[in-house]
Structure 1
Amino acid sequence: MKKPNMEDYLQEGIYGSRETKPGERKKFLGTLRERALLTLTKGQVMQELGNEELAENMKQYPEAKLLLNGNVSYRFLSPYMDIADKYNIHHTTISNQESETDLGAVLTLDYAIEKETVTIEVEEKEKKDSTGENGMKGFFKSLFKPSE
């Protein structure tokens, strides 16, 4: 490892200290993938999905922290804040205008845990109409059925 010289100190003073895996940190709201316990997408947060899984992980890891995406409306984040308060989990809202991520919430630790899967798959509830087909697509299919 080389010794820092004057140029290194100047660069650090101007641009800040170097960061490991900046792309990964932008995606995971400032933390690394290896530290994540559970992640929820913005869509899952807006639909209030994953509450049970989040609560289970908070019970199991009381030293965890909840990172919430500041680009998501507060009304969608408040149920997750309530869950964090219930289990005495520190939560913070991350608002970084320079990076874009599809994650709405990340439950993380200060150390690497290296869980294989940190996302949750929630089954989409399919809406059925009176014809038994899915949604509006099924409605239009029923209107334009060929006559027998």
Structure 2
Amino acid sequence: MSDDLSKRVEQAAQGITPQTKPDERRRYLGSLRERVYVRMNNAEVKDSKLTSLFLQHIDDFKGYTILINGNITDDGFLGDVEAACSKKNIPFTLVNNETAKTGPEDSAVLVVSKNAINRQRIEIGQVYAPELPKTELEAPKKKESFWHKLFHGEK
């Protein structure tokens, strides 16, 4: 305990402050999970339907900042996001530090807030779920009376 305390005092004297939730910051490109509005991973960036869905809802991201993994290999999507952000005056940041990983489940694009928003669902497929197919409602069957069943039998 005293070693931790002396180490902490020594770091504070040097101006070094410990980082909160370092594992979470590595996963979310330096941000925290509680600040994320929408997330796309590196595998989702390669899906044209999801990328067009992201670009289609770019107006929803006003007031947020977009963090882009600078190490992703899909330059077309990267350029499209940068162009759309510039056109709509949405701030974006390319992240090229140690948090920008290229695994399929690592973050590629994040829409983040400056303050905590604590959204339960942040994956793009959950935030903008595909529209369910519309089916015709069947007319409810007319309920037959007891007497009809008694004299005419069940069909």
TM-score class normalised by the smaller sequence = 0.5 to 0.7
Does the CA contact (< 8 Å) of 2:45 and 2:74 recur in 1? no
Structure-2 separation of matches of 1:26 and 1:74: 21
Q: How does 1:1-148 map to 2 (within 5 A)?
A: 7-8=7-8, 10-12=10-12, 16-48=16-48, 49-53=50-54, 55-56=56-57, 58-73=58-73, 75=75, 76-97=77-98, 100=101, 102-121=106-125
SS state of the match for residue 114, structure 1? coil
- The higher radius of gyration belongs to 2
Closer, same or farther: CA 22–12 of 1 in aligned 2, 3 Å:
same
Structure-1 separation of matches of 2:108 and 2:83: 16
Q: When the two structures are aligned, how many residues end up with a matched partner?
A: 118
Shift of 1:98: 6.2
Closer, same or farther: CA 99–62 of 1 in aligned 2, 3 Å:
closer
Amino acid of the structure 2 residue aligned with 1:104: A
Structure 2 residues without counterparts, runs of 5 or longer: 131-155
Structure-2 separation of matches of 1:67 and 1:99: 10
Structure-2 separation of matches of 1:110 and 1:92: 13
Structure 1 residues without counterparts, runs of 5 or longer: 124-148
Closer, same or farther: CA 8–35 of 1 in aligned 2, 3 Å:
same
Structure-2 separation of matches of 1:28 and 1:54: 20
Amino acid of the structure 1 residue aligned with 2:70: G
Closer, same or farther: CA 51–107 of 1 in aligned 2, 3 Å:
farther
Amino acid of the structure 2 residue aligned with 1:114: N
Structure-2 separation of matches of 1:20 and 1:82: 33
Closer, same or farther: CA 12–50 of 1 in aligned 2, 3 Å:
farther
* Aligned Cα root-mean-square deviation (Å): 2.9
Residue identity (%): 25
